[in-house]
Amino acid sequence: MEMVTRGSGNVFRDLGLADADVLQAKADLVFKISAIIEKRELSQVEAAQILGVTQPKISALLRGHLDGFSLERIMRFLAALDQRVEIKVRPKSRRDRAVAVA
């Protein structure tokens, strides 16, 4: 019989990483950036021009290499892509386990 372990909803926490909540927030926002780039049919070079970075930086970002990008910088990328970024603060419920980016 196989043992199944239910994940926390945050793969970074499940891997035991100390900054799991920040990494999950970054990953969620980069997923949105990737979807916008795909929807607009932008090349990496075009996306790089819009975001003010080099094409290799876009490539790294889209491949999930998040360590070179702060959460603030990723939010600025979304703003450059004509997105409104909102940060909401509210009391955590007993069921909440992680930071969520909606």
- Give the domains, in start order, of the chain with CATH numbers: 11-80 (1.10.260.40)
pLDDT at 55: 98
More confident residue, 20 or 53: 53
Does the structure show a pLDDT above 70 at 90? yes
Token output for 77: 């990328």
Token output for 22: 């920040």
**Three-point CA angle 61, 68, 66, nearest 5°:** 45
pLDDT at 99: 55
Distance between CA atoms of residues 87 and 40, nearest Å: 25
